[in-house]
Chain A
Amino acid sequence: MSGYAEDDEILGQAYDRRLMRRLWRFVRPYRRTVFLALAALAAAQASFLALPFILGCVIDLLQGAFSLSDLTWLPEGVRAACDGLAPAHQLALLVTAYGALVLVCLAASALQSFLTGQMGAEVVRDVRRELFAHIQRLPMSTFDRTPVGRWITRLTNDVVAISELFTTGIVVAFGDLLLLAGIVVVLMVVHWKLALVSLATIPLLAWLTWVFRQQARAAFRRVRMFLARINAYLQESVSGTAVTLLFARQDENSRRFMALVDDHFGACVGSIRIHATYMSLVTVLTGASLTAALGYGGWLVVSGALALGQLVAFLWYLGHFVQPVQDLSDKYNIFQAAMASAERIFKILDTPKEKEPAAEEPGTWDWGLGTESGAESRNRGAAIEFRNVTFAYDADPVLRDVSFSIAPGERIAVVGSTGSGKTTLVNLLCRFYDVQEGRILMGGIDISRAPRAYARSRVALVLQEPLIFSGDAYANIRLGEEGIGEAAAEEAARRVRADSFLGDLPQGFRTVLPERGSTLSAGQRQLVTYARALAFDRPVLILDEATAHVDPETEALIQEGLDTLMKGRTTIIIAHRLATLAQADRILVMDRGRLAEVGTHQELIARGGIYARMHAYQYA
């Protein structure tokens, strides 16, 4: 299954006020950092803006057309002191000021860059933390619909895209706008007529940028869409490697991948063309501005209306006008990507968590979560009753009006053909899903009205597909449970006979077991999950088709351990192999969502129904 699909083709607006407001929540805790960064940025831009001005002053000073005392904004005393100062000393003062401002600019930009980087890292961490915690609480149905790869992209790339919105996006855009405004103001102050003439290109620039934005947006969408398809294909190819190898389909797959990659390449080239066109047109407009400034400014200088140094400063400012404009137009992609990522992340955060009963309700119930002694609580949870349970994942019910009860300590086997609803019973009992009609009671309490922990803390689940996490044997047996010590984990392993092969690993129990692979066989992995179930010591044990991968010999080996495990526990075994069922007190036979037969092995054989027929098949 692919991890990159439709969702990755979501492309929102470049600016979406609703999303921005929600995103602000993540930045809010760091608003002081943000404001400090903006202040530093303003300081950096201001000191930067002063540099060409000083340059102009120096040039006029050299021309003898300037003295520090001409600066009317200086305090009267300073001006008076400067009045008689030799030009060489004035030069020294100006250069010192220039150097000092360079240092201020350095300090301010470093500070700004550090603060935004820090804030970005913090936002990334916070969003990831919240998102991960939320994902932990999502209902099982969400996981059954969502491929694993998608969770990864949400928590890595999408989160980064959001933080970039604030770091290289908004903050830098603010700086660019500030600089542009600053340049316009300074130019107007220096010589407003010259400013108007040389900035006459601005409306054209604005129009050009607007047109470019439309084009760039469409191009960007195409690029993203094709990239999502490439990644989806790549992901699936990696997951299905064994199949591709076995069927020697590499060449055909490569051809298909090539077609996707070519589409993506075409889209990229289109996008490059648009950008290149825009960039060079901006350069033409800048050239026009500079030419106007040179021509008109030169004429003004010749007619004595403008000092030469002022013209130099003017040209210097204009030369720096183009960079922020180009910068801003590049910000578009960052905004668009961030909005799309935000949309996808909020889609997860907006998925309701697993429902818990309303806060006032628990008072009316005694959940037995700590108020009773361990043994009492244990027994209470160990009686199970299904009352007229009907359940559908989608439209068609997979369980119809199922009722049965299980006494504490009883061993129940559930059999039935594929799709008869066996696994659904487990899903409901573990409260992975909630019943739609009817009730499930554990210890006399309706589990859907109790906290989820009520049902789950009473159940130990062993799945058909043994799940191994990359960690050592201890971590795999006790998971994150602090109450289970290493000794307890080893003991559990010993009782299911997993200690021998775990002990044989290079670093024994401390050997890191890989996610998949050959260090352990499927059956050995299954034994590790048995040890896990044993270590958790729950009153109800559910073996969901857990014997499918364990052959009779190994099963005999762990039978002893399982016997110990099952002692005093309500056990529900779901298996295809009738041999396992022989130990059950009663057998439930499921057929197309209904409970078809209940009884002991002999009773069911004697009845000559579905069970008897299944039995005949295996031993025919």
Chain B
Amino acid sequence: MTPYRRIRGFLIRHRGAYALGILALLVTDLAGIYATYVKTDILARLERLLGVGGADPGVRWKLAVLCAVFFGAMLLHAAGRYGWRIFFLTASHRIARDLRMTLYGKLGRLPLPFFHRTPTGDIMSRGTNDLDAIRMMLGPGVLVAVDTIFYLAVVPPLLYVTSPHLSLWIFMMLPVFYVVVRHFQGRVESRWTEVQAQLSVLSVRVQENTAGVRVVKAYGQEEAECRGFDRLLDDTFDKQVALNRVQSVFNPLLVALARSGIAIILGFGGMLFFQGRIGFAELVRFLFFLDLLVWPMMGLGHAIALFQQGAVSLRRLNQILNEEEEERASSAEYKPANDLPALRAITPTGAARQAGEPRTTSHEKNPVSIEFRHLTFAYPGARWPVLSGVSVSLPPHSIMAFVGPVGSGKSTLAHLVARLYEPPRGTVFVGGRDVCDIPLQELRRAVGFVPQNPFLFSDTVRENIAFFDPAGIPHSDVVWAAHAAQFAEEVERLPKQYEQMLGERGVNLSGGQRQRATIARALLVRPQILILDDCLASVDLETEHRILKELHPLLKQTTCLWVTHRVLSTRTADLIVVLEAGRVVEQGSFETLARSGGIFAQMVRRQMAEQKGDAHERVR
């Protein structure tokens, strides 16, 4: 598929601007050509006068009138130029804006696996550099191309009309011209592609190095990193030089070709003049018309470069735009849930109570069941399934803990419920419906998810907690959620409290604070399903215990899927599922499992034993 298909729609949408641009360009170029005609006309009259001698006073008036006509043509030319730039360039910025929004919208519809396999630096480089290259193609590129095409279409006939004889010589040069363009075009394009790709590699390398700086420094790898980076730089250099080699010949060659045309005309035109087969006026006019072609020739090289770079960039951008999307109900079909789900109706204990409970309304959303039926799932490209034959059912109002060794598939289960990864049809059910049949927007707005990695945006505390619906959530609810997540006290100590900017332009929160902020954020969804994906890992035990105690009544009002490593904390769960190598090996209440003598009991025993200091003795 040609990369241009993607922008055809945009071009059509802005056809009005482009049409006006072309019109303005016609005015500009025709006025320019006419001015050239008047100029040569004046010169021809001067030549005729030379023989007569400039005695006639009427001649001066004639000259003055012609000069005035010339100036008028130039004014028109200038006016056209104004319109032409405005129309073409504005249209290109409009398309760039459309493309930016398209890209942004697309990124919002792409599934999580895409972001896992595509480095952020790579996406950014497409969204910035490539987008700009496309705009350059659609603005200055189109402008110069249309201009060149126009001149190439209009000037040769003019040349022919002026002197069929001389124009023959010029037309003979066209094949040479064609061969040169073809020869260089392909080379420039392939080398440009390589340069752009190399830039992405470079970005990824820098990203890893700086994100992993603690490891680099602790293991003293600065030198090795520099060596590795130097090798990359050498590759980049080679590719850049290869591109430079063709580019530096291409443009001057095009110009030289156009100029050699003038040399040819001077030579043969002069001979014809001497033989009396051509008039002076014709020759001068021919030369000036020919000179009109030099600038478009220079522009042609430039336009070709812009188009090639634009095409490469368009292809790179298309790679993202053609990615398969998550299915997502359009916002038009979806009606945001203004009715208040379960959590708002319940009474948080302790500190949260002082913060004032969220308003209750007539509607309340009830928690829904979650069911896994013979779920077998493998990550794309993986050899082995990470889950096999998992069948578990979570009734509403239950807290179910998933424990198990690393890689046993606990987090994967959590991700599949929210459809961050797509489960096979007929395996995961929410409220009795196959999740694959639930519009994503509806599903995700029913789920409160607290991820392992507590990501916050560089925005205010309030915006981050009320992330779900910043305009619709009243401040009192934000305070309530912060209290419920044991985060409020710390927020109130911040200089601007809930209006405090986080991140680079504000304050950086500790890992534990971030985790509690993300819990508050999930609570405000007032979810029917709450998923805690090992989200308290960097909170210490005391805090974890306090948070869990506070949250317990809230959790009970939802269907809670709780992934955790802390076996002993799972006492509060209604049901515990033990996973091993993607299979459910045990399930039951804490007491049952602990007494059963299975894997869970072993895990519990080990921790109990350790805490009693037996292990301590053993090590000693």
A55 to B226, CA, bound (A): 57
Min C-beta distance of B196 to chain A, whole Å: 11
Residues of chain A lying within 8 A (CB to CB) of residue B508: 144
* Residues 526-583 (chain B) with a chain A CB within 8 angstroms: 534, 537-545, 565-569, 580
Determine which of A114, A280, A527 lies in contact with B78 in the assembled complex, contact meaning CB atoms within 8 Å: A280
* Residues 598-618 (chain B) with a chain A CB within 8 angstroms: 599, 603, 606-608, 610-611, 613, 615-616
* Residues 492-518 (chain B) with a chain A CB within 8 angstroms: 503-505, 508, 510-513
Residues of chain B lying within 8 A (CB to CB) of residue A283: 74, 77-78, 81
Residues of chain A lying within 8 A (CB to CB) of residue B187: none
Min C-beta distance of B206 to chain A, whole Å: 5
Residues of chain B lying within 8 A (CB to CB) of residue A124: 236-237, 240
Is A252 a contact partner of B119 (Cβ separation < 8 A)?
no
With known contacts A129-B233, A135-B210, A149-B124, A521–B93 Cβ distance under 8 A: no
Is A114 a contact partner of B244 (Cβ separation < 8 A)?
yes
Residues of chain B lying within 8 A (CB to CB) of residue A602: 613, 616
Is B43 a contact partner of A549 (Cβ separation < 8 A)?
no
Of all chain A residues, the one with the shortest Cβ separation from B292 is A319
Of all chain A residues, the one with the shortest Cβ separation from B139 is A272
Interface residues on A, range: 35 or more
With known contacts A247-B467, A257-B101, A276–B444 Cβ distance under 8 A: no
B60 proximal to A (CB < 8 A): yes
Is A63 a contact partner of B280 (Cβ separation < 8 A)?
yes
Residues of chain A lying within 8 A (CB to CB) of residue B284: 59, 312
Of all chain A residues, the one with the shortest Cβ separation from B119 is A515
Is A62 a contact partner of B108 (Cβ separation < 8 A)?
no
A253 to B470, CA, bound (A): 11
Is A522 a contact partner of B452 (Cβ separation < 8 A)?
yes
Residues of chain A lying within 8 A (CB to CB) of residue B541: 576-578, 614, 617-618
Of all chain B residues, the one with the shortest Cβ separation from A580 is B610
A283 to B81, CA, bound (A): 8
A377 proximal to B (CB < 8 A): no
B121 proximal to A (CB < 8 A): yes
Residues of chain A lying within 8 A (CB to CB) of residue B217: 140, 430, 432, 456
Residues of chain A lying within 8 A (CB to CB) of residue B271: 88, 91
B252 proximal to A (CB < 8 A): yes
A268 to B217, CA, bound (A): 43
Residues of chain A lying within 8 A (CB to CB) of residue B213: 140, 143
A551 to B402, CA, bound (A): 12
Is A5 a contact partner of B245 (Cβ separation < 8 A)?
no
Residues of chain A lying within 8 A (CB to CB) of residue B569: 618
Is B404 a contact partner of A551 (Cβ separation < 8 A)?
yes
Is B219 a contact partner of A298 (Cβ separation < 8 A)?
no
A248 to B333, CA, bound (A): 14
B212 proximal to A (CB < 8 A): yes
Is B214 a contact partner of A506 (Cβ separation < 8 A)?
no
B353 proximal to A (CB < 8 A): no
Determine which of B67, B245, B253, B512 lies in contact with A294 in the assembled complex, contact meaning CB atoms within 8 Å: B67
Binary contact readout A505-537 vs B (1 if CB under 8 angstroms, 0 otherwise): 110000000111111011110110100100010
**Cross-chain pairs A/B with CB under 8 angstroms, 28 sampled:** A3-B124, A95-B263, A95-B267, A102-B260, A105-B252, A106-B256, A121-B237, A147-B504, A151-B206, A156-B203, A231-B127, A237-B104, A269-B90, A280-B78, A287-B73, A290-B39, A294-B39, A302-B50, A308-B47, A415-B540, A418-B513, A456-B218, A480-B223, A549-B534, A551-B406, A551-B567, A553-B580, A582-B611
Is A277 a contact partner of B82 (Cβ separation < 8 A)?
yes
Residues of chain B lying within 8 A (CB to CB) of residue A501: 407
B458 proximal to A (CB < 8 A): yes
A16 proximal to B (CB < 8 A): no
Is A106 a contact partner of B255 (Cβ separation < 8 A)?
yes
A615 to B608, CA, bound (A): 11
Residues of chain A lying within 8 A (CB to CB) of residue B447: 246
Of all chain A residues, the one with the shortest Cβ separation from B222 is A136
A245 to B327, CA, bound (A): 12
Determine which of B39, B68, B291, B445 lies in contact with A248 in the assembled complex, contact meaning CB atoms within 8 Å: B445
* Residues 238-293 (chain A) with a chain B CB within 8 angstroms: 238-254, 257-258, 261-262, 264-265, 268-269, 272-273, 275-277, 279-281, 283-284, 286-288, 290-291
Binary contact readout B203-237 vs A (1 if CB under 8 angstroms, 0 otherwise): 11011111111111111111111111110011011
With known contacts A237-B107, A286-B74, A617–B267 Cβ distance under 8 A: no
A13 proximal to B (CB < 8 A): no
Determine which of B260, B381, B440 lies in contact with A99 in the assembled complex, contact meaning CB atoms within 8 Å: B260
- What total of chain B residues lie within 8 Å of the partner, measured CB to CB? 189
Residues of chain B lying within 8 A (CB to CB) of residue A600: 616
A301 proximal to B (CB < 8 A): yes
Is A463 a contact partner of B379 (Cβ separation < 8 A)?
no
* Residues 549-583 (chain A) with a chain B CB within 8 angstroms: 549-554, 556-557, 576-579, 582-583
With known contacts A276-B86, A418-B540, A470–B204 Cβ distance under 8 A: yes
Is A308 a contact partner of B46 (Cβ separation < 8 A)?
yes
With known contacts A151-B206, A576-B540, A245–B244 Cβ distance under 8 A: no
With known contacts A316-B291, A519-B382, A576-B539, A235–B46 Cβ distance under 8 A: no
A518 to B120, CA, bound (A): 16
With known contacts A1-B504, A269-B93, A464–B538 Cβ distance under 8 A: yes
Of all chain B residues, the one with the shortest Cβ separation from A94 is B266
Residues of chain A lying within 8 A (CB to CB) of residue B146: none
A357 proximal to B (CB < 8 A): no
Residues of chain A lying within 8 A (CB to CB) of residue B510: 418-419
Q: Given contact pairs A287-B77, A550-B406, enumerate 6 new A-B contacts (beta carbons under 8 Å).
A: A106-B255, A120-B244, A235-B124, A261-B101, A302-B60, A481-B221
Determine which of A1, A117, A480 lies in contact with B241 in the assembled complex, contact meaning CB atoms within 8 Å: A117
B411 proximal to A (CB < 8 A): yes
A614 to B540, CA, bound (A): 9
Determine which of B129, B211, B568 lies in contact with A618 in the assembled complex, contact meaning CB atoms within 8 Å: B568
B363 proximal to A (CB < 8 A): no
Is A583 a contact partner of B616 (Cβ separation < 8 A)?
yes
Is B252 a contact partner of A109 (Cβ separation < 8 A)?
yes
Min C-beta distance of B546 to chain A, whole Å: 8
A467 to B127, CA, bound (A): 26
Is B75 a contact partner of A155 (Cβ separation < 8 A)?
no
B259 proximal to A (CB < 8 A): yes
Of all chain A residues, the one with the shortest Cβ separation from B256 is A106
Binary contact readout B72-101 vs A (1 if CB under 8 angstroms, 0 otherwise): 011101110110011001100110010011
* Residues 371-386 (chain B) with a chain A CB within 8 angstroms: 379, 381-384
B49 proximal to A (CB < 8 A): yes
A26 proximal to B (CB < 8 A): no
Determine which of A252, A481, A577 lies in contact with B219 in the assembled complex, contact meaning CB atoms within 8 Å: A481
A105 to B463, CA, bound (A): 62
Binary contact readout A593-620 vs B (1 if CB under 8 angstroms, 0 otherwise): 0000000111001000000011101111
Is B100 a contact partner of A261 (Cβ separation < 8 A)?
yes
Q: Which of B110-118, B344-352, B475-483 contacts A (4 or more CB under 8 A)?
A: B110-118
Residues of chain B lying within 8 A (CB to CB) of residue A619: 568, 608, 611
Min C-beta distance of B31 to chain A, whole Å: 10
A2 proximal to B (CB < 8 A): yes
B125 proximal to A (CB < 8 A): yes
With known contacts A98-B263, A136-B222, A453-B220, A299–B468 Cβ distance under 8 A: no
* Residues 279-334 (chain A) with a chain B CB within 8 angstroms: 279-281, 283-284, 286-288, 290-291, 294-295, 298-299, 301-304, 308, 311-312, 315-316, 319, 323
Residues of chain A lying within 8 A (CB to CB) of residue B259: 51, 102, 105
Is B124 a contact partner of A238 (Cβ separation < 8 A)?
yes
Of all chain B residues, the one with the shortest Cβ separation from A243 is B455
Is A613 a contact partner of B542 (Cβ separation < 8 A)?
yes
Is A155 a contact partner of B202 (Cβ separation < 8 A)?
yes
Of all chain A residues, the one with the shortest Cβ separation from B419 is A245
B4 proximal to A (CB < 8 A): no
Min C-beta distance of A612 to chain B, whole Å: 12
With known contacts A149-B124, A234-B104, A545-B538, A98–B266 Cβ distance under 8 A: yes
Residues of chain A lying within 8 A (CB to CB) of residue B119: 470, 515
Residues of chain A lying within 8 A (CB to CB) of residue B82: 276-277, 279-280
